[in-house]
Amino acid sequence: MNSLLGRFHWNKLTAPPVVQSAESLPHPVRLSGLLLLLILGTITVYMTGGTGYAYPYVILVPVVLSAAWYGFTGSVIAAVVAGLLLGPLMPLDVQQGIAQSPANWLARLLMFVLIGGFTGSIFRALKQHSDAHAEALRHDSRTGLLNQAALDDDLPVLLRQQARQGRAGLALVFVRIVDLSEILEALGTEASDIVVAAVAARIGDHSKNSVRAYRFSGSELLFLLDTQDSGEVETLVEAIRETGEEVMEVHDVPVRVQMAIGSHHTSDPRTPHQDLIRRARTALFAAVEEAEFYRPYDPAYERKTAERVQLISRVRSGLKSGEFELYFQPKIHLGTGEVCGTEALIRWHGIDGRLIMPDSFMPKVEDTTLIAPVTRFVIQQTTEFLRENPDEQVSINLAVRNLFDKSLIRDLEQIASKAGIEPQRIELEITEGALIKNPYGARVILQELRDQGFPVSLDDFGTGYSSFEYLTHLPITGLKVDRAFVKHLETGESNRSVMKCLVDMAHVLNMTVVAEGIETESQRKILADMGCDMGQGFLFARPMPASRYLTWKAREAV
């Protein structure tokens, strides 16, 4: 690891931030204080009768003080001055006018020098120790990079410096190594630290700017750029992109990291440093969430996040007070045009009567434990709907967390059997994400659900990373091809070929295929002609409340 760090040369910040210590009184104040104490000591000795009495040692006070302030050299100089002040001119006995013998004052001077030298070296050692300790506290012990504490020290200093000098322009660039946890799982903690250090080093190498890197958290680096020119931020982002394209060897394993970047460029040095950090990090979160490589800060991100946080905090009470409802969107058999099932899609009636769509709250809900009560609600409502409508078959969406929530899976089985609903009537839609995160675990649970009799289909197929080969090992019954494939069917032969290939492959694997998002008659026809089994989309019907869906269906059947 050292060799990696060794290659890491920091481009200097134009004005490197320094940690200011509390000890520092200005030099002139300290020197005049010492001088005053030496003179006071001399006067005290003279007034108390001369060096023959007990007071000569008060003059050691400034000697010890200069040891503390100036270390070895300072205390030796102070000791010599103190020894000379109590030297040949200072009487042994003032009243009787007895002078000191040279041996007397020389011996004292020597003793003062010894005491001064000794205390000076002790203070020097203590200072070195505490400096080393303070410096260690500013560094991440695993990579040697500056840490968050150092950033909290340096950033305000830099901002103050800029404010004083009338300069303005500082960029904070956050970089997250998105797949660090996978590297950690595969190669261990040490390897992931090596990767972080190497990434920081390479970015430093690539960058033409003055940058300083901090390890902000396990997988996040923050680069400080002392510049007014936003073009320099772009250059740094380019350098990071280049770093991401390089392969590095870690424990003889070639590794390429995926990164996401968020930045904030400020021209107001009076902005509190915590706000600057928060803004840059918000931009990073936006980049990660939108699966983008880079996002500069936009105040709209914070509004969106705040709105979402407020929404999430109301999910539980909303469930209790009946603000959620299931809408149903029919699935159509493309060969016959018959309705052959429906998908349950959640809707939230906000307090202002506005209908809140799942995209604005489900992604966050799915990341929290709130997903369990939400999915339980969906299961309850679905079984009720199925009990009242014995001809219906409903698909529900399960989140990754649901799949690995043993008690929820057990409840699903129990609720269905208690209501007398055959599992075949509840299809479970799972996105590829669930399978990628824990392929083995997911496979086991899917098999269990299949054994119970629940059909399982892969939702939004084509947007993830599943390989065809991988699909052959999964106990799934259907593929729901993502809307993105349907959208471009009319515009290119190659898009149609890909779709046809997906349909054929699914059939070979004994799966049914549902095309999502059919909006035009020509899309329907192309899909029907290529043998796609079912379709779902606004062309047939939008999602609607249960009663409206049943009326719609009755009308369609006529």
Chain residues in the site for ligand C2E (CB under 6 A): 329, 345-346, 357-359, 362, 366, 378, 397, 399, 429, 459-460, 483, 516-519, 536-538, 543
CA distance 236 to 224: 10
Residues, the chain, total? 558
Report the nearest approach of ligand C2E to the CB of residue 335 (Å).
19
Beta-ladder partners of 534? 333, 514
CA distance 90 to 94: 8
- Three-state SS for 355? strand
CA distance 531 to 335: 8
Report the nearest approach of ligand C2E to the CB of residue 377 (Å).
8
Report the nearest approach of ligand C2E to the CB of residue 283 (Å).
25
User: 113 vs 428, which CB is nearer to ligand C2E?
Assistant: 428
User: 153 vs 516, which CB is nearer to ligand C2E?
Assistant: 516
User: 366 vs 405, which CB is nearer to ligand C2E?
Assistant: 366
Report the nearest approach of Mg ion to the CB of residue 313 (Å).
26
Partner whose binding site includes residue 537, from Mg ion, ligand C2E, none (CB under 5 to 8 Å by kind): ligand C2E
User: 222 vs 471, which CB is nearer to Mg ion?
Assistant: 471
Q: How many CB atoms lie within 10 A of CB 31?
A: 14
Partner whose binding site includes residue 359, from ligand C2E, Mg ion, none (CB under 5 to 8 Å by kind): ligand C2E
Partner whose binding site includes residue 362, from ligand C2E, Mg ion, none (CB under 5 to 8 Å by kind): ligand C2E
User: 87 vs 517, which CB is nearer to ligand C2E?
Assistant: 517
User: 154 vs 459, which CB is nearer to Mg ion?
Assistant: 459
CA distance 103 to 138: 52
Which residue's entry shows tokens 């429906």? 342
Report the nearest approach of ligand C2E to the CB of residue 475 (Å).
20
Which amino acid appears at position 211 of this protein?
V
CB 185 within 8 A of CB 253: no
SS (H, E, C) 117-153: HHHHHHHHHHHHHHHHHHHHHCECCCCCCEEHHHHHH
Report the nearest approach of ligand C2E to the CB of residue 465 (Å).
17
User: 429 vs 432, which CB is nearer to Mg ion?
Assistant: 429
Partner whose binding site includes residue 378, from ligand C2E, Mg ion, none (CB under 5 to 8 Å by kind): ligand C2E
Exposure letters 11-28 (e unless 16+ CB within 10 A, then b): eeeeeebeeeeeeeeeee
Q: Which two tokens mark 322? A: 């009946």
Partner whose binding site includes residue 517, from ligand C2E, Mg ion, none (CB under 5 to 8 Å by kind): ligand C2E
Report the nearest approach of ligand C2E to the CB of residue 485 (Å).
13
CB 447 within 8 A of CB 474: no
Contact residues: Mg ion, CB under 5 A? 397, 429, 459-460, 516
